[in-house]
Amino acid sequence: MDYKKAGVDIEAGYRAVELMKKFVKETERPEVLGGLGGFSGAFSLKNFMNMEEPTLLSGTDGVGTKIKIAFELDKHDTIGIDCVAMCVNDVACAGGEPLFFLDYIACGKNEPEKIASIVKGVAEGCKMSDCALIGGETAEHPGLMPEDEYDLAGFTVGIVDKKNIIDGSTLKEGDTLIGIASSGIHSNGYSLVRKVFDIKRSALDVYYESLGATLGETLLTPTRIYVKPLRAVKEAGIKIKACSHVTGGGFYENIPRMLKEGTRAVVRKGSYAVPPIFDMLAKDGNIEEKMMYNTYNMGLGMVIAVDSSEADRAVAVLKEAGENAYIVGEIKNGEKGIDLI
């Protein structure tokens, strides 16, 4: 008896690491110390000592049951982007710049090419957010997980000067809400998605004119990463007063999180185009409108609040950064919460 006969292939783990090294190297920043393979990842903070009060921000998340779509389509090179996005968007939402990322993959059986494909996506997400992939873990769990399945989670650390943390404290009545378009469902609510749609390969491969893609392609579209667009707004000298990453819980849970007591968000539903996948999901699943807005991003992955005098310029900056952005509402005085009108 040996470890391989018990279900853990150490040699496969070595091969997976070799295959992923080139992807990891592409994410390196000057502050990264050492290379892949150590017991820990090292990152120098020397370049940030000019901040008055450097403050670390952290975020951790997974991809959830969206990975079931990846299993069915046997496509694993974008799911890592989702994992990075779910973490770095939270850090960016607080005004921070993501510095480094670590991933954790649990699998039933280590298939080196599949693991490397997953990490390729993680590395791509890191490049999209200027974040270094400095380490990770692939854990083989024979007997605990099916051999052809895996789970993916990640962790990121970012930095911000304390005075620049976005916390909603300066919000006032009349401030403008700007929504930044999502790429689709992102990585939340897939347990409901899988109840509504048949996620067998034959159904996922069906092309829909309304979607402009197959159902599988649409459902597997990676979560949009907003690090660089938000940075562009800040570099334009526009103060982001509050920010909400619209994830699980949709509008009703996430937008109030950006508000201070005594302020209320008013969002106009007709101010932007809702992607067709949400209409299809609501119709096929007979899901009432409020539940849709309480579960999904409904086409807005990030919502920011700025002074009304800077709203048009903020939209222009976001569009120059490659984003679809819309003025979607305003801040009113009132009980902390949201009104959809």
pLDDT at 193: 97
Alpha helices in the chain (DSSP H): 10-25, 67-73, 79-93, 112-128, 190-196, 201-204, 215-219, 227-235, 250-254, 276-285, 289-293, 311-320
Q: With CA atoms as reference, report the closest residue to 125 among 225, 57, 26, 25.
A: 225
Distance, CA of 39 to CA of 33 (rounded, Å): 13
Distance, CA of 142 to CA of 8 (rounded, Å): 7
pLDDT at 7: 63
What tens-digit pLDDT sequence spans the chain (341 residues)?
Answer: 655 656 666 777 778 778 888 888 899 999 999 777 778 889 999 999 999 999 999 999 999 999 999 999 999 999 999 999 999 999 999 999 999 999 999 999 999 999 999 999 999 999 999 999 999 999 999 999 999 999 999 999 999 999 999 999 999 999 999 999 999 999 999 999 999 999 999 999 999 999 999 999 999 999 999 999 999 999 999 999 999 999 999 999 999 999 999 999 999 999 999 999 999 999 999 999 999 999 999 999 999 999 999 999 999 999 999 999 999 999 999 999 999 99
Q: Which residues contact 138 (CB under 8 A, 6 or more apart)?
A: 13, 16, 105, 107, 110, 115
Distance, CA of 280 to CA of 247 (rounded, Å): 19
Distance, CA of 303 to CA of 126 (rounded, Å): 22
Three-state SS at 143: coil
pLDDT at 154: 97
pLDDT at 247: 97
- The domains located in the chain, with CATH, are 10-164 (3.30.1330.10), 176-340 (3.90.650.10)
Q: What tokens were used for 297? A: 């991003």
Contact at 8 Å (CB) between 302 and 179?
Answer: yes
Contact at 8 Å (CB) between 254 and 220?
Answer: no
* Residue showing tokens 């150590």: 38
Q: What tokens were used for 310? A: 């800077």
In this structure, which amino acid lies at residue 76?
H
pLDDT at 18: 84
Three-state SS at 208: strand
